[in-house]
Every structure is written in C-alpha cells, then in structure tokens.
Structure 1
Amino acid sequence: MSDWEADSEEDGPGGAAPKPSRALPAWRPATEAASAGVCENRAAGGDKKERGDGWKGRPRQGLAREPWQSGPLEYRARGSPGGRGRESARSPPLCFHLDNALVGTVIGRGGAKIKELEESSGCKIQVVRGNCDAEIKIFGGNDKQTKAKMLIDDLVERSGQSNSGEKYEKDSFKHQHVGTTYCHASRSGALMSVNNNPKQSINWTSLRENKAKYEAMKWADLPPIEKIFYKESPNIASMSQDEVDRQRKENNNITCDDLKESEKRRIPNPICKFEDAFQHYPDVMANIRKVGFQTPTPIQSQAWPIVLQGFDLIGIAQTGTGKTLAYLMPGFIHLDSQPIPREKRGGPGMLVLTPTRELALQVEAECSKYSYKGIKSICIYGGGDRKGQISMVTKGVDIVIATPGRLNDLQMNNFINLRSITYLVLDEADRMLDMGFEPQIMKILLDVRPDRQTIMTSATWPDGVRRLAKSYLKDPMIVYVGTLDLAAVNTVEQKVVVIPEEEKRAFTRYFIDTMKSEDKVIIFVGKKLTADDLSSDFGLQGIPVQSLHGNREQCDREQALEDFKKGRVRILIATDLASRGLDVQDITHVFNFDFPRNIEEYVHRVGRTGRAGRSGEAVTLVTRNDWRIASELIEILARGNQVIPEELISMAERYKQFQLKKEMEKDCGKPRGRSWKNA
C-alpha cells in the first residue's frame, strides 16, 4: 500500500500502512464442522459424540432437558426400571418479582443469603435484575419451592419493608408458574399485584418554569462573595488612549474585548510594573521580589487588573507566557479577603481544574513557591494515593488543584464540598476538552456556586472552548496575546526535515551526537510503544535517557521528570502527555520524532522550549505519511517567519491535487479505486 493513500488506517500521527495479511485456512461454520465430526464418529461405529478434531466428548444422555431444568437429571418415565415416577419430576420454576430496593435483602453481600436459602430449602434460586424490579426464579419440587418462598418472605418482612409498600401476608398465598407474576392474597381474599403502582410522570414544564426559584433555594444559605480588590495607581489611571494602545502593542500585541452582550464596560489599562497591581498587598510583592522577576509578562500585565476588579476572564496566550501566575496571585488575594474567615467556610475556596497530572503538580509547585498567609493547597489526581488525598481534603484545605476525573470521584462520594468554591480556574481548557473531560467538568460545576469568579486559560480558541466559556462564565472579558490564529512561540526557531520513515532513527541518533553538553531535549513520539522502544535502544547504546507516557506508574513518571529537571538525564522521550504542563526552563530543543495528531499539539510541543523569554529550537521530522498536515504546518511556519522547505511545499500541493481528484470523482459518482497512485 502506498504511503500516500488517504484512506489508510491511522495508528498514531500521520497513519501507517497496514501489514500484509497472512493466508488463512478455509473457514466453515462451527456447526457444520461439529456435525461432520459427529457423522464421522458414528460411521466408525462409536456411540459417543466426537468433535471434528478427534476430541471425545461426554456420553450422550438418555433424555433431553427442558430449558428451565438445572442440576442432575432426575426425571424418569413412569414404570421404567429404577424410575421414581412422575411425582419426583422437577416442577416448573416459581417466578415472582421484587423491587430492586429489596433485592439486597434476599441476595446479601456476595450472594451469601442466596446460598443459605438454597441449602435450607434444597432448591435452586436465580435472580434476574431489571430496570425497576428483579425476577426471582425458584427451581425444585413444589414443597421445596414453597419452603424457599416462605423463607424469602420472612427475610423481606424482617427488613421492615414489602415489595408493594405494605406488609407481606404470609397466612395464605397464591402463586402461578412460568413467566407469571407472583401475587399475594390478603386475609380478606383480595389479590394485590407486586408491581401495580403506576409510575408518576415528571412535569418538565413546571420544573423549567420554577428553575430560578429552585436555584435560589439551593444557594440561599451561602455567605456573600467579595470580588473587587483593585485600586488603580495614579500613573496607570492617567494614561491616554494612545499610551494604552502603544503599551499593548509593544507587549506582544495584546488584544482585549468585553464579551458582555449588553452595554460594554471599560477595559482596565494594562500595568507596567508589579507595584501597579499589588502595591496594597505587601506579602505578594515580597514573594515577587524573592523570585526575582523584573516586569510582568504580557498576559499578566492585562489580566491582573481585570481579575482584581472581579470580572470573569478568558486568557489566551502561548504556552510559557506566565498564565499560571496570572490567576494565582489574584486568587491568593481573593481567598484572604472574603467576609467569612477561611477556617469557617466548610470547604476549599479556590479550585483549579487541569487536564493532566503533570500540569496539576506544576500548579501545586507554584502555589507552594508563592506561599501567602498560610494558605494550604492540595493536588488531587488519578493514579495518586486516593486514601491520602481524601485524608488531606477532609482535614481542610484552601486551594484544590485537580484533574477532573479524580475530583469527580471524590465529589460523587461526598469526600469534598465544592459549595464553598468562590474562585474557579479552568486551566488549559482546550486540552481538557480534547481529552474528553467535558462531562466530568459539567458535573463538577453543578456543585460550585453560580456567583463565583471564573478564570479560563487556553492556548487556542476552538469552538469547544467557546461553548464552554459561554455556558459557565458570566459576562467575561477576553485577553489574548499575539493573535487568535494558531501560532507557535516566536522565540523558537522551527526546522522541518522531510525524510523517509526508515531513516528517522538514524537521523535522531545523528541529532543526539551533535548535542552540546549544556543542551537538553524532549523527543516527542506518537505512541507509548515507540517511547519504550527508543528508550531501550538508546540505553543499550549507552545514552542516558528517561521516558514519559501514560502507561508508566505515577512514581516512575515523577522520577522521570525529576531526573530531567535536575539534569541527571538530558534527553526525555515522551508522548503528548508532556506537551503541556511541563515547565522546565532550560530545555533548549524540542525534537518531533513523530508528527502529532493535529497542528494544535504541534504548537504546544514547540512551546516546551523558548520559555520565559529564552530562545529555543524545534526540529520536526515529516514523512510522506504526514502529507495531510503539510498545508497547516506551512501556515504556522509562515506566521513565525521560518524557513519552509521546498519538499514540504511540494507535498502540500500534491495532497491538494489528490483531494481535488477525490471530490471530482465523488461528484461524478465514479468509484475512487486506486486513483491516488497518480497523485
């Protein structure tokens, strides 16, 4: 199969041609084969069934069983030698129904009560669960069925409930067999059906009309929220519009907008120094001086005045531009300045949702670095010590940093109270949607008070993020740095190498051999298996590397990151798990061994280097299997004023011609066949 086939099955970036199929033996239905084996055996004079492969089965029984019969066959014809007569024949099963709420009373933990009932009555009991109720089937003789039924009645009565909502009557009862519902007779002789209560329909119209009233009742007992903490400095307030525009343009072309549908509000002027935002908060300023930052990043200079004024914010900026501190610093002030003291709120006040464990741990590290007035934080993520996380949450924390899956688990099991959340952050919202976390996010946000302040950060602005913002943010302002068009970090030099698939490993080894002693590189691959394979190869060649992907244990993942950050190894081989949330300042190179599944992930990969104003280099290997993304990659390179290889341009042109030919054949109603070979 040609590498240029558009319909080949994709298994990782760019897709791969399927392996040649093996020749398979002629197939025939299993029943036909079994029949053939039996016939051959009978022809040979055997009186036992034998499979076609020569395996001898069990002796044939003299009589066939009915479908409802179980256990050893006890029925023998009347008068037959050794027969016990029809009186010993098994009766049809006694069937009746129980409400699902009562089934546990009969079954017991691990089916223990069923086993006891079977031993006591000498019959077989089967429970078939349904949507609303369960069918109980009792197999055995009439006397045994009656005994088992009385034992079940006694269990249900002792539980203090009955299937129909009233007490069971045990003095007399009537049952019907095989597929009919068991009915009880009261002392007056009246029959009552087990499931005769009709279900009441839900009045959805009434619920919708009273939605506001129910919402108000749900949140009526919560304390008020304070959101406004910004005092604009005289220097910032006196800026003219020309000065504001020039400041935004010089700060990587900051663009702002108010998404409120009615009357637009004034967008705060960007700050120039840290003191312009935090001059009234000396503890924050002390943290900033301790770290040694000189000036705010573009996203920080515009986001801080907006968030400190209490507005919801959508912040869109390239990776590595300081988005974490853009919401953390105002969050500290928000938590400490609420009318109700932190210890009396009954739960955390700030929630940060992140897509991956690595990003969650990164945010927690930032919280710990900028400690503020004893605020406690915890990181909750799948794969971590669940028992330990529950213990810490129940003891009391101020900030919860979590992945949606694990937080939803703790929330549904009532280990964490989210009603006290007043400051919510959806970090890397586009990545959370890509990973399929939207249902969990929706469940979580239903338990967070609606008048909260919400911050959403993202590196891109796709339709899914717009929908999420419209649903869960209230009249937000949007700040984006650079452009809403997808673009890679401008401090990174991007190099693209068009290469045959079979030469990728040799080129990678050549790249590693040319690395300097101070260089540090992430090699991105498309599959977990490829990461392990490359790691093993380099290890056997004496090259120290670490690998990072989702199949590794959490402790191994943390150790790999620690070794990479500390410089014990200078090569990290990773899947797209590391494309976001990995903040290692001294990464000099990103090497794309496999092209990612989409162009957005390419931008995020490139953003792992060139962070915090440093320069970096990204090398990307492109094979003929990646021709679908050639046009999009050319656009990214053009926006960054990067060199575009002629082979990449030629690849994009051929793919366009191939797509055009497919459309023409589709319009003409002709079969596509193998026309792609001529593309």
Structure 2
Amino acid sequence: MADEEGMREPPSERHADMDADSDSNIEAAASPVAADAPAPEGDSQTSENPEPAEKEPVVIVKVPYSEHSDVTARTEEQIEEFQTKHKVKIEGEGISKPILKLEEAGLPDEFVSKIKDVLGSSLPALASYGLPALLNNRDFIGLGDSSMSEKVISFLPSVVMHCQRNMKSNSKGPVALLLASSCRQVRDIYKYFRDTGRSLDLECLEISEETSNDREDFQAEFHVAISTVSTMQKVHTSGHFDFGTISVAILYGVDELFDGSHAEAIGQILKDVHPERQLVAFSRSWLPDVRNAVLALAKNPVIVQIGDVETAPLPSGVTIDVRIMDDESAKKKDLQSLLEETLRKEDAGKTVIVVKTKRKAKNTKKSVDSKEFPADVLIAGRGRSKASDRDAVVKDFRSGKVKLLVATAATLKDIGKEEVKNLVMFDFPSSPREFAHLLRQTAPALKVAKVYAYLTNVQGRHAPGLADLLRSAEMQPNEKLVSLEEWAKSAAEGKGPPLPTGKEGGGDDDDKDDEDSDSSSDDDRRHGRGSSSHRDRDKDRDKDRDKERDRDRKRSYSRSRSRSRSSEDDYRSSSKRSRRSGGGSRWGDDDRDRGDRGYRRGGR
C-alpha cells in the first residue's frame, strides 16, 4: 500500500514546475505588458499580444508492465487456440501474451477488487490483448463489432490506474479524454467511469450538448473528460482548461466520428494534448481513409481485430454506373428510359429503386408501375404503413409477384436476404461516404450485381469524392463524372463558373400533394386490383383521411416545435441550479440513479 500511495502522489518537482508555469501564465494574462517598459506607439499591437513562453510539459508517471506468472506460462499452442476460438487477429510488434482474468493484469489487489465489483473478473477477447498493451504504455486500436462493455473493459482499468498515478492536487485539466460520436454514447460511457470512480477518488465530467456545462465545472478538479467531438471543439476553442495535462486520448467509434466529418477537429484537439499521450481507438470498419487517419495519430500501436471487419471501400463483385443529369426532370426521363431498355427485360431480374423521402417513394411508384412489370412501395411509418403492410409488400417482392420495389434507405433492411440484381440510387445520399456505407450494408445481403447512381449538376460537389471512391475500388469513373469533378474543383477554387443551385434529391415531389391520387382507382382497375365501386369509394375516403391526418400532423408539429423552444429556454435557465443541487433533470426517471439525476459528475 505504501508503494501504491507513493505512485498516486505526483513528484514534488512536478508540483513546483506546475506552480511556476501556472503563476507565470496568470501573470502574463493579467499584465501582458510590463509596467516599467511601456510599448512604443508604432508597435502597440505586438506589445498587447506577446508570444507566450514555451510551457514545460507535465511529467507523466508511468509504471512498467509486469507479466503475471500464469500469463508467462501460457504456451503458443494455447494462445493460437484462443485466437482461433474468438476469431482474433493481431497486428503489431512485440505484442504481449493475452490475459484472461483481471487478476492477471498485474494491478494492485485492492484496485482489482474494486474494479471487479463493477466490471467483473473475466475478460473478453478484445480486452485480453488491449489491456496488457495499454499497461505496457502502447497505443491500442480495437476493430470489430464488439459491445460497449467489451470495449470499455479493455481500457477502463488501465485509464483509471493511470489517472490515479497522475492525479494533481492543483489540477488545471483532465488526465484522460474520451471523444464519442453521440450524446448517448457519452452518457453510457460516463456511467462506467462514474460507478468505477466512486470508490477510487476519481472525478469524471460529462460534457455534451445535453449537459450545459459552465466555467465552474471546468475549473473544479476532475480527471476524466467524456465528450462529443463537436462540444469538445467548442471547449478547446474557449480554453476552459489546459489540454496539455491529457496523457490518454480515447476515440470511441472512429468510423462514426469520421462519417460525421470530425477528422479535422480531432486533429486540432489532439495536437494540444501531451506529446507523450497514449491513444486508444475503436472502429467497426478499417477502411483506407479511416486506417490512414488513425495510424497517423498512433505510435507503434497494437491492432486487435475481432471477427470480420470491412476493409474495402465498396463491396466486391458490384458494377457501378454513375449517371450525370442536368436536373431532376432529366433524371426522371432517364429512369423511364432505363426501365424500358434494361430493367423491364425478362432476364433483368428484380430491381430496387432507392429514394430520399416517403412521399417521393409513393410518387415514384406511380410513375414506374405497369401491368406487365408491377411495382410496389416499401416505406416506414405508422397507420397504413405499419409492419404488417411492409411484410405483405416484402412477401410479394420475394415471391416474384412484384419485380420492382421503390423504397427509402431506412427500409432496405426489411427486405432481408434476397437476390436483387439491380439497385437504383435515384436520390444520391448526403455524401459519397454515406453512399459507400449504404452499399456496404445492403449490396452483399441483397446480392446486388449492378448499381445505377444518379447525380445532378446541382449535386456536383459530391463528384470529386465519388470519383475518388471509385478509383480507390479500382473502378474507372466515366467521362461525365470526370468532367463534373473538374468543374466542381475549379468552382471551389474560384477558377471557373459556379455549380448550379437548386433543390437536391427530392425535387418538386417533396413539396406538392399527390396530384395523381384521384387516378389511382383507374390504375387499380387497369391492373385488376379491385373492380367494385365500393372499394374505389373506400380508397378515396382513405386518401382523404390520410391527407387530413397529414395536415393535422403538420399543425401538431408546429405547435410542438414552439413548445420545445420554450422548454429548451427553461432548461437552460434552470440547468445549472439543477445540476448543483442534484434536483430533477431533463431526462426524468431513466436508468440513472435517483440521487445522481441532474448531477453530471462521477466519483466521490
């Protein structure tokens, strides 16, 4: 215990350095110009903003990893059997043997007993390699679709122990920083640190769009900061605390962080953390851009992959035909030509057309439906679009009764595993990255052979990214895409004419009502779907009720938006008082401890 207490207390030299640096920074901020040396008039701007003195980095306390005797006794045959059983792939140099229990980590017994109360004793495969890598002061990258608990236990004992060793009595910033892609992830991971830190004198601070932190939170003592990237970027810009004290940086869900275009923000934040910091990163995929970005931040990492991981930017065996159109009207005409010339042939197979909105799906279904080649629509929602209706549509599509299906991206998963020969991306997604993600998710399950992707000149900003995506998958972009790519690049650099502007994706179909709704009864009779007059009248009444329900929903949505704005203002004015007093919070009665509601710190 004496050794443990000694490790938790920082060296006295570091106290002196920190005090001197803190005092000098405070003095420099309080009096940027020396009193006895007035600045010349012509050089006033330089004098008011002097260059800050180079600050000495905080001394990091590191303890060498000591391998447990049971781990040392593990043979190569046992390790190979373990890797085969759990589908583990390892990449890196000098990798430590796996540990199977928390007791084998070489941590103090009292610390292990407290950690076991929260996380348990046995370790998943990801933690078996991740924990010894971190205890050995190596960077760690975990790949695969592991659960949150499996990811957290692979780094939390090491991070908590590291924070204990590097706690500072005059804390000006955290020891560890965790960046996640959503407030939900921040909240869930915070609970692990909160429950673990209560018995270990560890303070953690949750920072997200939901917590409304103030300056007092950042000035108080805390050791772990858990935040979304967008919120931490604001904190970083405001300078609420010193990022130089951070010696462990955790990126939770790297693929999601990079999908949210946070790469530049993450780079700026990590540039100001301690130069000897450890990096922990988790990702479900290991695509070339994600791999290059993470490896640029890591130093001699241990990479642990559990199961199969996506490594190719696009699914293999799929041909992509990118069709560049002038506008939405030209896109609709080209779709009709594509249907007549290719997709309605006997050997064309089944086709799925993906559009952006439910209204667009309904209108597109009407335009592509025919007696010889019937079409249907698959959309999410309530009322007439409930699950039983979607099941009936999917059943007709699988049986071959319907060969052409119009769907939104959200309902593609409802089709399940079905052989769909053609996939038409009629509305291009929000980015080339989202386009690739959608194909990787759906193309293998649907056994897609060819993809038709539409892109208008209004969406020309996506052309460079889409062309690069095709090249990375060893596909050659066509001449029209290359031409639009060059146009977009020259417009972005101000060297050429700007790209046209206008509505994207949905076109006019998203705004207008169903003008052809009255003709649906004629369509039904033409295709043999109900010929009696009472059925037609029932359908007309249903359509009228649907329109009325849509109008009521819009009015209700406007009222709820107004109420939400006022409630948000009330929350902002009361959140600080609620958080300090431990009173009611904006979450209500959730799975958070009753005594912890409204109080966003963990630990004591």
Which of structures 1 and 2 has the bigger CA Rg?
1
TM category, shorter: 0.3 to 0.5
Larger helix proportion, structure 1 or 2?
A: 2
| TM-score, L = length of structure 2 | 0.47
Question: Structure with the greater relative contact order (CA < 8 A, sep ≥ 6): 1 or 2?
Answer: 2
